[in-house]
Amino acid sequence: MQEIVDPVPGAGEPHLPAQPDLVQLLTPEGERVEHPDYALDVTDEELCSLYRDMALVRRWDVEATALQRQGELGIWASLLGQEAAQVGAGRAMGTGDMAFPTYREHGVAWTRDVDPLHVISLFRGNDLGGWDPVARRFNLYTVVIGAQCLHATGYAMGIQRDDAEAAALAFLGDGATSQGEVNESFIWAATFSAPVVFFCQNNQYAISVPIERQSRVPLFQRAAGFGFPGVRVDGNDVLAVLAVTRAALARAREGSGPTFIEAFTYRMGAHTTSDDPTRYRLAGELEEWKLRDPIARLKAHLSRSGKAGPEFFAAVDAEGDELAVRIRKGTLEMPDPAGTDMFDHVYAEQTEEIAAQRAEFLSYHEGFEQ
């Protein structure tokens, strides 16, 4: 039976390279350009640091994917192709800002000094995330689609009431914009002029559903309907993402309310390791986006401008290999958690009910030993 699909404007030409209103400071060829609204001054050292961040995060991602394929992780959500969006946004944060990730923000975790093994332990099923969210200013991963937008908005309203000079940064994907709680968080954020930035990585697929079938308009234009500004940035341009996110966070901190950022990027890998993207997208599309690889783009700029040479890139590669070894060794040596761990840290303080359940659990298992 032939599938009948409602015609969608633009669906015949998906994933066009030329997108309207796209903020860009580094072309796919690595040429530095200016934007009238988003000036950015970065030193050579900062440029090299951004490259290092992206390269090491990709190495982490490759190693984690391999570990999952070898049965060491239950699942892995790859960020392949989205390194610039995540590193640029993470490096834009101030010391008092707080990030609320989904389950794919490994690049943001890296910029917040979260140990990769603390993320790996979550995907191995050992815990729910091993880092301190308060110390790292990076909340635990949220698997429920879009729920973190409510958390971020509530947190931002708390910032507002504390008169703190800080902002919340909520990460979401394009598919999450169809979720009710995301739209509810937009309404609350707009109504209270909450200091929150919604950072949407439009990687163009909600698992297998392309963006053309998710929205009739570019996602950033939706923000106007809620009463706050939206901006579309080249998500494969780490400099543009850094500049746009810095500006949005500064705007939030000074009391001007929320901003919606649409980072236009592309998921070069699978949605997760349980997904097979060859079933719903063409190989040619992937090859086209490989030409806009965010890491190759910055590397081209650094090389052609003479800001970095072969020694620098070789050193980053060597550091990546060391990181991969540490991740693999640490994963394989990770001890299995005790069964009673699921009763710990449910609340800030242990309750009588949870303590009773823990005791019952122990008693039940002791019966087997007898």
What are the catalytic residues?
Answer: 267, 271, 280
At 230, list the tokens: 């939206």
* Angle, CA of 33, 39 and 43, to the nearest 5°: 80
What is the bridge-based pairing of β-strands 196-202 and 259-264? parallel
> Helix 44-69 and helix 294-304: axis angle, to 10°?
150
Q: Is 174 exposed, middle or buried (0-12, 13-18, 19+ CB in 10 A)?
A: buried
- The closest alpha carbon to 119, from 100, 97, 141, 93, belongs to 141
Tally the residues of the chain.
370
**Radius of gyration of the chain from its Cα atoms, rounded to whole angstroms:** 21
Structural contact between residues 108 and 140, judged by C-beta atoms closer than 8 angstroms: no
Give the Å distances, CA to CA, from 2 to 5, 9, 281.
9, 21, 18
